[in-house]
Structure formats: structure tokens, C-alpha cells
Amino acid sequence: MEHTNWMADNTWMAPKSGWSEFILVGIFNQSQYPALLYVVVFIVFLMALSVNSILILLIRSETRIHTPMYFFISQLSLMDVMYISVTVPKMLVDRITGVNTISAPECEMQIFLYLTLVGSEYLLLAAMAYDRYAAICHPLCYPVLMNHRVCLLLVSGCWVLGSMDGFMLTPVTMTFPFSGSREVHHFFCEVPSLLKLSCSDTSLYETLMYLCCILMLLIPVTINSGSYGFILLTIHRMNSAEGRKKAFASCSSHMTVVTLFYGVAVYTYMLHSSYRTPEKDMVVSVFYTILTPVLNPLIYILRNKDVTGARKKMLRVGPVFQETIKLDIFVLMLSFYSL
């Protein structure tokens, strides 16, 4: 019996190959009203899927807005759908089943997809800023600077370069030996939370990860800052008040999304661990991974006349689309009352 216990204890001291699963503490155990929180998260998740899908459908169906800007917005919505789907469904299912474990391969896949999508979205926001710079500062050359081929190359580059973050950090993170508790104080496998479980010195890796995140943020932040610096100068030189208003309107939504996304990213990956707590990390991650995918499309829909016009046109000429929306609302209400 003693020999069996000794073997069991040493299992927890083994490296990655000796681990079969982790335990995700999650956000529901930290709440005084877990059932209410579950309903809220479930509704937000459905909203994120619905609103982003509708925005993609609007952009694809309305030929008048088949422009580079809306092509990038549709890609952003696609990333948001994938982004929230990486973490939230498992969290919701775990709450229903009462099983909060995640296997090592699943954890590794979750880290890779999460890092890839985050990195890709960093770069996509920079591409969107460059698009606005080309449209406002060089309107005559805009059709050449942002033709269909250039847009496809930019989006493909965002996906490829974003995945490099996942390819570099994921395997290194999962090769560290883990010991003690298997509990990850988070609702998904995030690199900083996993490193806290490691029994080895991860300071060098954390420093390298910090430098990598600075590089991944520095490039898009520089492009965003430079683009909007030139845009503001161009707007300031405009004689037409209507032109200034239109230019500001086309950039305000994107600037709002950039501020939300980069601000939380800086806290998560660049703020020193001594200034952070697991509780704060979880709150920030809830905003980052659950609320942002809902806010992004709402910002573009509510503050964009072209999208609003396309939505009204589709609702006016598409009775089938209206019935689909009614069905979605009915399913949402039915799901709510069944909880």
C-alpha cells in the first residue's frame, strides 16, 4: 500500500508525459450566484455567435459594402466567433456535467488556438488601421493600394504570423514539469496560469515570453499609432466640415475596438506578476474573451450607417431572414427558461 501511494505521489512530480489532466477552477465557483452567472454567460455567448454571424451575413449579402474595410470587419467577426468558441462552450458544459477537468492534449490545443487567434487579431487591427490611412490620406491611390489581392495577402499574413505565437509558446509551456496541485485558477488553459503550477524555474521563459509579447504588440501598436497620427493630420487640414465628420466616423469604431483589445492585452501579458492576482486575472479574462467578441460587432453595427442601412434593407426585402431571426429569438428564450 505504501509503495502504491509513493507511485501516486511521484505521478504529480513527473513532467508533462506523466500528466493526464488539469482541473479548471472556473468563474462559477468564485461567484455567490453561480446559476445567474451561468445564464448571463450563456446568453452573452449566444449573442456573440448571433451578432457576429449576422454581421458577416450582412457584409457578404450587400454588394454596396464589398470594400476592403468591411472585408476586414468580416474577418474580425470570424475571429471573434472562433475566439469565444475556444473557451466558453467547455466552461458551460463543465458546469452542467460537474466535471471541471481538461486533458493535457485538450489544454495544449486550447492554448494554441487561443494564442493564434489573439495574435491574428492584433495584426488584423493593424491592417484595418492601415486601410483607413490609405482611404483618408491617399484617396486617389486607394483602389491600387488596397486592391483585392492586397487585402487577401494582409489577412493571410495575419493568420500565419498570429499562429507563430501559438507554435512557439504552446510546446514550450507544456514541456515544463508540474507538481503539487493540478488546479488551474482560471476558466481555460492560459499560459501564465499554467506556469504557476510548474515546479521548475520559469523566470527565463517568462522573460522571453514577455519580450515576444512586446514584439507582437509593438508592431501593430506602431502601425495603429502611425496610421492614426497621419489620419488626424489629414483631417485637421480638411476644409470641409462634412469631410472631417465623415473621416472621424469611419475611424471612431475601429479606434474604440483597438483601445479595448490592446488595453486588456497589455495587462494580461505585459504587466508584472507581482501586480496581478488570480482573481483580477480571471475578471480581466472574462472581459477579454467573453465580452469583447460581443462588443466588437455591436460597435461597428451601432456606429456605422452603411451596416445599419444594409441591415434595414435585408429586413425589409428578406422575409425568410426575418423568420430566421424570430426562430433564433424563440430558441434563445426556450433555452433560457429551460435552465
pLDDT (tens digit, 9 = 90+) per residue, 234-288? 887 777 777 677 767 667 777 777 777 777 766 666 666 666 666 777 777 787 7
Residue with more model confidence, 109 or 264: 109
CA separation for the pair 269, 214 (Å, rounded) = 9
Count the domains in the chain: 1
In a domain, 318, yes or no: yes
φ, ψ for residue 308, nearest 5 deg: -60, -40
In a domain, 13, yes or no: no
In a domain, 1, yes or no: no
Task: Please report which confidence band the pLDDT of residue 5 belongs to, taking 50, 70 and 90 as the band edges.
Answer: very low
Mean pLDDT on 298-326:
58
Task: Please report which confidence band the pLDDT of residue 24 belongs to, taking 50, 70 and 90 as the band edges.
Answer: confident
In a domain, 56, yes or no: yes
In a domain, 317, yes or no: yes
Which residue carries 495544449 as its cell? 108
In a domain, 126, yes or no: yes
Is the per-residue pLDDT at 329 higher than 60?
no
The DSSP result for 230-279, as a single string, is HHHHHHHH---HHHHHHHHHHHHHHHHHHHHHHHHHHHHHHS-GGG--HH
pTM of the entire predicted model? 0.79
In a domain, 22, yes or no: no
pLDDT (tens digit, 9 = 90+) per residue, 175-194? 888 776 778 888 888 888 88
Of 2-6, 51-55, 174-178, give the range with the top mean pLDDT: 51-55
Beta bridge partners of 24: 184
Which range has the worst mean pLDDT, 39-48, 149-158, 197-206? 197-206
Shortest CA distance to 130 belongs to which of 149, 161, 154?
154
- The grid coordinates listed for 288 are 477579454
Residues constituting the chain: 339
Strand order in the sheet with 21-24: 101-103, 21-24, 183-184
Is the per-residue pLDDT at 124 higher than 90?
yes
- Residues 30 and 279: beta-carbon distance below 8 Å: yes
In a domain, 131, yes or no: yes
Q: In angstroms, what CA-CA distances link 193 with 74, 168, 183, 212, 269?
A: 32, 17, 10, 18, 11
Strand ranges inside the chain, DSSP E: 21-24, 101-103, 183-184
Range of 242's domain?
Answer: 33-338
Mean pLDDT on 157-173:
89
Task: Please report which confidence band the pLDDT of residue 152 belongs to, taking 50, 70 and 90 as the band edges.
Answer: very high
Q: Which CATH number fits the domain that encloses residue 37?
A: 1.20.1070.10
